[in-house]
Amino acid sequence: MKIDRRLLINVDWVLLALVVTIIGIGLVNLYSTGYNIHTATKPLYMKQFTWALTGLALMIIAASVDYHFFIRYGYVIYGLSLLLLVWVTVQGHIAHGSQRWIYLGGFSIQPSELVKLTVIIALTKYIAENKFGDKYHIHNLAVPFAVVALPCSLIALQPDLGTALFIVILFFSLILFVGVNRKAVMIFAAGGMVVAPLLWFFLKDYQRERILTFLNPERDPLGAGYHIIQSIIAIGSGGLWGKGFLKGTQSQLKFLPEQQTDFVFSVFAEEWGFVGALVVLFLFFSLVLWGIKIARNSRDLSGTILALGVTVSIFWSVLINIGMVLGILPVVGIPLPFMSYGGSSMVVLLIGVGLLLNVSMRRFMLQS
């Protein structure tokens, strides 16, 4: 595979620096979450480091192949991810009451994380190839809506309502960017107001409990509300400068559940305080702004939509996760990008970064 020298010259080092810095902070933080735990298994931060290296290798591949190739075969890539979701439904691994994982070659894979990216690619293909004037009308959205509805239905069956809703939010973010006429927006809004209350009757008991706990964590402080209460205590106890590395009481004494995944930011805020939390938020904010810059500088619509999709996905992941740990959003299991433990999330995110690099490096080249 021959790579144009101009691509190597135009590597986006700012994007790489931001991502690698956040990953480094995340690895240090994961070391803290597993401190004082003596087991025969490989430490989580070492596993995460392995996944990060794997993701970086795949990122280089994703950046090297012209992004138009991925868009050209966008529906095929999307279809393969749907097959993985069907596989999960048929014989996926069950853990914590959810059937979300499959085993391939000795590795555990969560296909719903991959679908976040393949939906972006499929929507990019549709939007780039179908232009309906200045704004999309409701009948123009039937295909992209189906592209989103199919995986969301399969993911909701796992059950993983949080990821399903995340993909829906991602869909509306992209559609609003490309332009939707007022009537379509009103129809979607009205439909949402009608469907939202009805969804309550289809939720499982623990999902209803999460919503009720979000509204009032004190209603079950030792049960469903325990996570949120301990998270708020951890963040608040960090103060301005934090308690210091490996000195967080809520995390080190294991009062804070799921501290390596959903509540990893709480651990960081307790140890590094308000100032440390601001630094991490600034890095994420800079990453999102840089992703938007890449989207704006793209030479074609497909590059713009693809870059924007990846960027918006990171933005909503950060916003929802931080909102969860602060208690201002329900706990829906959305990981903090590059910091929460999870191989599937890390690898897919880095492939997405590879696509961002791809668009950025080819900003001077017209589509061939």
Identify the pLDDT of residue 228: 85
2 versus 351: the higher-pLDDT residue is: 351
The pLDDT tens digits of the residues spanning 179-225 come to: 887 777 787 778 778 777 777 766 777 677 777 777 677 666 666 67
Q: Which two tokens stand for residue 364?
A: 């001077």
Close Cβ partners of 230 (under 8 Å, ≥ 6 residues apart): 250, 255, 256, 257, 266
Taking the C-alpha atoms of residue 172 and residue 150, their distance in angstroms, rounded to an integer, is 15
**Rg for the chain (alpha carbons), in Å?**
21
pLDDT of residue 36: 61
pTM: 0.91
Whether the per-residue pLDDT at 270 is higher than 60: the answer is: yes
**Which span out of 28-42, 246-260, 297-311 was modeled with the highest average pLDDT?**
297-311
Of 7-11, 118-122, 221-225, the least confident: 221-225
How far apart CA 67 and CA 120 sit, in angstroms, is 13
User: For residue 1, what pLDDT is reported?
Assistant: 47
Q: Where are the beta strands (DSSP E) in the chain?
A: 93-95, 98-104, 107-109
Place of tokens 């309906």: 132
Judge whether residue 368 has pLDDT over 50. no
Backbone angles phi, psi at 182, to 5 degrees: -60, -40
Confidence at residue 197, expressed as pLDDT on a 0 to 100 scale: 76
* pLDDT tens for each residue of 292-313: 999 999 989 999 999 999 999 9
Higher-confidence position of 227 and 329: 329
Q: Give the Cα separation of 198 and 215 in Å (integer).
A: 19
- For residue 21, the model assigns a pLDDT of 98
- Residue 76 has a pLDDT of 96
**Residue range 66-104, pLDDT digits in tens:** 999 999 999 999 999 999 999 888 877 676 666 777 877
Please report the pLDDT score of residue 318 as a whole number. 97
250 CB neighbour count, 10 Å cutoff: 24
Res 288: pLDDT? 97
Grade residue 2 by pLDDT with cuts at 50, 70 and 90: low
155-170 pLDDT, tens per residue? Answer: 988 888 889 999 999 9
Q: What's the whole-number mean pLDDT along residues 1-7?
A: 58
Is the Cβ–Cβ distance between 60 and 7 less than 8 Å?
no
- How confident is the model at residue 74, as a pLDDT? 95
**Eight-class DSSP state of 335:** P
The C-alpha atoms of residue 196 and residue 229 are separated, in whole angstroms, by 27
Calculate the average pLDDT of the chain: 86
Bigger pLDDT: 361 or 217? 361
- Pairwise pLDDT comparison (97 vs 279), residue with the higher score: 279
Name the DSSP letter for residue 256: S
Label residues 267-280 b or e (16+ Cβ within 10 Å = b).
bbbbbbbeebbeeb
